[in-house]
Structure 1
């Protein structure tokens, strides 16, 4: 299965690295995809013009043009390396807020994946505000690579939360599984599929104030476990052909705790997850569980929106 055909690679100075370049090349070659390298100057044209206004005559315009040319030349250096490997590449330099310009590029050119290196540092969290904005608001899948990412993944984990009665959630779970299984097969990686389940208000039910017998509590827990297990089995029935190459885990616990713990204990390098909040509503970007997980993991993350997601970032007048 060809996963992606039109990949946008964020190649600004803070994000671009050998890891991102290697992964972009591998994805393009594996999927017969074309790449667009995007560098974003984090200032509007008006900001640059105002900053250089102190220079005499045409000097301001010359310097502004030189800044743009520098970024374009830098991108061409990366593009040349990729073209030598047979990859179709184009380049673009834009001005403005980085995540907004990246999303507008997606909307304009119909990219089906955004690939970006995390803007990491020794005293910074893995995902900083610009990357989180991109993950929350970009309509296509976003893949944020950590600094240790290699050209191919070795350990992939897909997180699912099946519910056949919820059509949006069910479709998103299938999309997560399609991408995770295809990616694992394409990259020769081991795949874990994890579904965390829990009983609402279990600690309250066990409190002495409720006076609920232990056998009744256990009956409720067993019932919830059975229903959750059946929902998971229903989802996995569509992916039986991958049974020998993946491990399915049904773990009791809060997903926001269980998933980061499994990432750390198992050495997961790529987490594939859905970010279901609500669909079709601009401004409701991501579910609370997904938000918490994104703030607690340090592996590379491939985040997928549900069908019908509407980005709050829109094209400006005149853009198509």
Structure 2
């Protein structure tokens, strides 16, 4: 099963990030890995430069308090938690600074508390830049809103992967979601959307001359094919049987956010950039429709071979 050994937590030190730090610390201790905390803050104006050291010291003190609070909530001994704090004053967009740091240091995972948004749905500009351009897996954390005994994980899978790279990413998503659910003592739901894409085109076209019986047969075949492909992916991933499968007919950008809200999902795991996780899944298209309506945490995985457009050094 997949694991993360080198984790970067990103913060600006302004907001209460206890929830995100708790999730990061829990994962680090479970994996027996290391955690770097990158504290990024904007460069002060020229007239305020004299306060830079004081401002930096204040932010670090606030971060230490947040770490102590998170460790206390988890019953961890703060002195035994492997945390290193790195401060960076930024004059470029902070997401670019973070990505360059990731490229230079080779982190497995970046965790960041999701930027506050109206109605607590969707993600801000910095978050979206990390989803699009950061080479590592990105976890955008939100507080758990629902009172339940276990974290509820859901993973979105495209069973009808057309390329080997798409299939490989779908399997990695299954492996990652299973591993994370196990580490957090959580439950796992596997989501996959399907449809008979020619239905409207053929049903109402007189020239097609297809009987209703044949049309229904085609729909059943599409349903059966999707079921078989999804079963094969799950079996190949080796995630076992301790999960629920939800096959939904229709558009994923509607069905997946509805499922997340209705079923009180805490963390959605899905792919970015390629067709992964759901039908026609391209960041900037269906994926953005989904993430812009989500109110849960997001764990986003890049396909193997992804190359960030950001360079490690300017």
Render the CA deviation track for 1:23-45: whole Å, top value 9, x for unaligned.
Answer: 121111111111111111134xx
- In the other structure, the counterpart of 1:10 is 10
Change (3 A) 1:208 1:167: closer
Change (3 A) 1:276 1:223: farther
- In the other structure, the counterpart of 1:160 is 157
Q: Is the 8 A contact 2:117 2:124 kept in 1?
A: no
* Partner SS for 2:153: strand
Distance in 2, matches of 1:141 and 1:304, equals: 5
Matched, 1:64 2:52: yes
Distance in 1, matches of 2:2 and 2:235, equals: 22
Render the CA deviation track for 1:84-108: whole Å, top value 9, x for unaligned.
Answer: 2521111111113221111111111
Q: Is the 8 A contact 1:141 1:302 kept in 2?
A: yes
- In the other structure, the counterpart of 1:136 is 132
Deviation of 1:141 (Å): 0.8
* Coordinate RMSD, CA, aligned: 2.7
- In the other structure, the counterpart of 1:36 is 36
- In the other structure, the counterpart of 1:282 is none
Q: Is the 8 A contact 1:174 1:235 kept in 2?
A: yes
In structure 1, the gaps of 5 or more residues are 54-59, 280-284
* Partner SS for 2:80: coil
Distance in 2, matches of 1:10 and 1:104, equals: 13
Change (3 A) 1:73 1:225: same
- In the other structure, the counterpart of 1:310 is 307
Deviation of 1:66 (Å): 2.9
- In the other structure, the counterpart of 1:218 is 216
Q: Is the 8 A contact 1:17 1:117 kept in 2?
A: yes
* Partner SS for 1:250: strand
TM-score by length of 1: 0.84
Q: Is the 8 A contact 1:162 1:169 kept in 2?
A: no
* Partner SS for 1:9: strand
Deviation of 1:258 (Å): 1.7
- In the other structure, the counterpart of 1:106 is 102
- In the other structure, the counterpart of 1:25 is 25
Render the CA deviation track for 1:189-222: whole Å, top value 9, x for unaligned.
Answer: 1111011111213222222555532122212212
Larger RCO (CA within 8 A; separation ≥ 6): 2
* Partner SS for 1:242: coil
Render the CA deviation track for 1:29-74: whole Å, top value 9, x for unaligned.
Answer: 111111111111134xxxx3xx224xxxxxx653233333333443
Render the CA deviation track for 1:103-130: whole Å, top value 9, x for unaligned.
Answer: 1111111111111111114456431121
Q: Is the 8 A contact 1:76 1:91 kept in 2?
A: no
Matched, 1:196 2:193: yes
* Partner SS for 1:158: strand
* Partner SS for 1:175: helix
Change (3 A) 1:99 1:185: same
Deviation of 1:278 (Å): 7.9
Distance in 2, matches of 1:314 and 1:130, equals: 17
Change (3 A) 1:85 1:23: farther
Which sits farther off after the overlay, 157-166 or 121-130? 121-130
- In the other structure, the counterpart of 1:185 is 182
Which sits farther off after the overlay, 232-241 or 190-199? 232-241
TM-score by length of 2: 0.85
Matched, 1:288 2:307: no
Q: Is the 8 A contact 2:13 2:60 kept in 1?
A: no
Q: Is the 8 A contact 2:172 2:237 kept in 1?
A: no
Which sits farther off after the overlay, 89-98 or 78-87? 78-87
